[in-house]
Amino acid sequence: ESATAFGCLVSDMWLGEFDFVSPEAFHSVFGKRYPAFSRRTQHDAQEFLICVLDDLHEAFKQVRAQLCQERQSSAAGASTRSSSGTSIITHLFEGQLSYAIRCLTCKALSDRPESFTVLSLPIPSTRVCSLQDCLECFFQPDTLTRNNQIHCHWCGSNQDATVEASITKAPQIIIFHLKRFAWQDKNRRKLSTTVCYPFSDLDLSPYISTSCHNNTEYSLCAVVNHAGDLDYGHYTAFCKHSITQHWYSFDDAQVTKIPDSAVQADTAYLLFY
């Protein structure tokens, strides 16, 4: 099972007995469940990450449901009930957005909730911008017209509307995906924009609903980098040691300690806060 293989991988990494650890066993087991990732071809790190989180969530959810049933069956007169569908993955990584949709004809307001584990942020510049610029672009209000009209329940027909997103549940660990692969003139290309991101005190309060009481300040703990173009690329990672607070670079079999200044990179693709 991929969850067991992942647990062995994490255990091997933290035991500190090796200069580096190969994830081949986990990759082999995971590839059987997701054949697309078993081939030695180019894949997207964000898509892979979502599949890994989904797979681990399902595995841990089943274990939790089984434990709950065992506890309930051992209690006198206890009746079994279905699992709530939560896991350590949802506890750590799952947040919730709410899209406030207002009909521009009758002004009726409705909310559409949506869970997320990764926020895909547009990059609003071709040269340089900040993570806050990307967040502003993602959360800015939009107007839905023409083919994007909503069906208004009160009007009984399709109408123009405004939509604005906000975070109603902030996850403990929030993952940002920088949308570096974009369409331009019917061609897909990679944006090499420098995105400046803070190492600490990332304040998400401007984008969080007043009904959310979670902590809104985050610190950077890991970065996934992508070097290369659409047809050929290479992934590396920067990770912050949770105890020593030192940063390390992971580049295949090369694991090296790096200064904080090296963590700000033009190749950043996924940011973990």
Over its length of 273 residues, how does the chain's per-residue pLDDT go in tens digits? Answer: 889 999 999 999 989 888 899 999 999 999 999 998 987 788 899 999 999 999 999 998 876 655 555 555 555 444 333 345 889 999 999 999 999 999 999 999 999 999 999 999 999 998 999 999 999 999 999 999 999 999 999 999 999 999 999 999 999 999 999 999 887 777 888 999 999 999 999 999 999 988 776 677 999 999 999 999 887 899 999 999 999 999 999 999 999 999 999 999 999 999 999
Q: Which two tokens stand for residue 60?
A: 């841990």
Domain ranges across the chain? 1-72+84-93, 117-139+170-272
CA 228 to chain centre: 22
∠ Cα 98 102 105 (to 5°): 165
Q: Which two tokens stand for residue 110?
A: 């409705």
For residue 205, CA distances in Å to 12, 148, 175, 202, 216 come to 38, 29, 16, 9, 6
pTM of model > 0.85: yes
For residue 89, CA distances in Å to 64, 166, 208, 252, 269 come to 12, 22, 21, 26, 21
The domain made up of 117-139+170-272 has a fold known as: Cathepsin B; Chain A (3.90.70)
